[in-house]
Structure 1
């Protein structure tokens, strides 16, 4: 698969890229959803998708913490109440945000906030794995922002 990187960007004012995610956004600290911002969606983008994954989790595919579809291409930040926006099952099988909660003593985990600019609409609420299998060829561009957390 070719690289799809250019001007698309994802960020959060709640923590620095490669910085520690504050406790309030962890599963044990309140599970508050962080603010997620977007810029630079390329021409032809039909919708954005956001997937947060921890590849350091001791599972074959890591652990998926958040899956969101239907984000408007001109959205500057994630609004879960916006028309068409919907959450899909995370690694726990629940359609919502699940904050960092790595095993105690397992070291620093990395939480990848991936944004995908898509040339088509995502149908339904596929899991991360289903999304990547079905929509990989529809990705126009992607970007990531990484937070860290340990217990």
Structure 2
């Protein structure tokens, strides 16, 4: 069964403007298919991410993975890490396993699958290719002001007012 529908626009140009900076990965190549490790059925392993060039005034980071192509209006949040300290410039592969895998002070909020961890790609079988946006948000405050019970939507709302910069990398996946 194919889910015929228009391609969802890239959501990030629709947000308030933020200074660009750079995110790279040993595991995700921009615009290319994700490795099996980043797929729900094969491992749920968050990718290695490194970033540089965050704007002056950055006091913390938020790291997210979002699928705008999920067949629901709100898309699907696969990963949200809040309050990564400003002196941290990378996360190793697997840092999304749980809060103990994150730098001190950082924490997960629940993904749309219901766990406080990274959830790998899991588009419906037969659907169009999905895009998975791995985004590092530079925040102008030491903490975003939410706790582990916040939803990714609440994190995103707070980011709309506190983001200084945004670094974006995206992979794709299709069953």
Same fold, TM-score > 0.5, yes or no: yes
Distance 1:18 1:135 in 2: 24
8 Å contact kept, 1:41–1:74:
no
Alignment of 1:1-151 (within 5 A): 2-6=16-20, 8-78=21-91, 80-120=101-141, 121-122=143-144, 123-125=146-148, 126-151=150-175
Say how many residue pairs are matched: 150
Q: Distance in 2 between matches of 1:129 and 1:141?
A: 19
How far the C-alpha of 1:2 sits from its partner, in A, is 4.0
Shift of 1:25: 1.5
- Paired with 2:28 and 2:103, the residues of 1 have a C-alpha distance of 24
The gaps in structure 1 that reach 5 residues or longer are none
1:96 offset after TM fit, Å?
0.4
Write out the 4+ residue segments of structure 1 that deviate beyond 2 Å after TM superposition: none
**Is the contact made by 1:102 and 1:109 (CA closer than 8 Å) also made in structure 2?**
yes
TM-score by length of 2: 0.80
Q: Give 1:81 shift.
A: 3.2
CA distance in 1, matches of 2:41, 2:18: 35
* Unmatched 5+ stretches in structure 2: 1-14, 96-100
Question: Equivalent residue for 2:5?
Answer: none
Give the distance between the partners of 2:103 and 2:158, measured in 1 at CA: 24
What do residues 1-43 of structure 1 show as CA deviations (whole Å, max 9, x unaligned)?
Answer: 641123x222211121111101122000111221111111221
By how many angstroms is 1:133 displaced? Answer: 1.7
- CA RMSD after TM alignment: 1.4
Aligned residue for 2:160, secondary structure, equals: helix
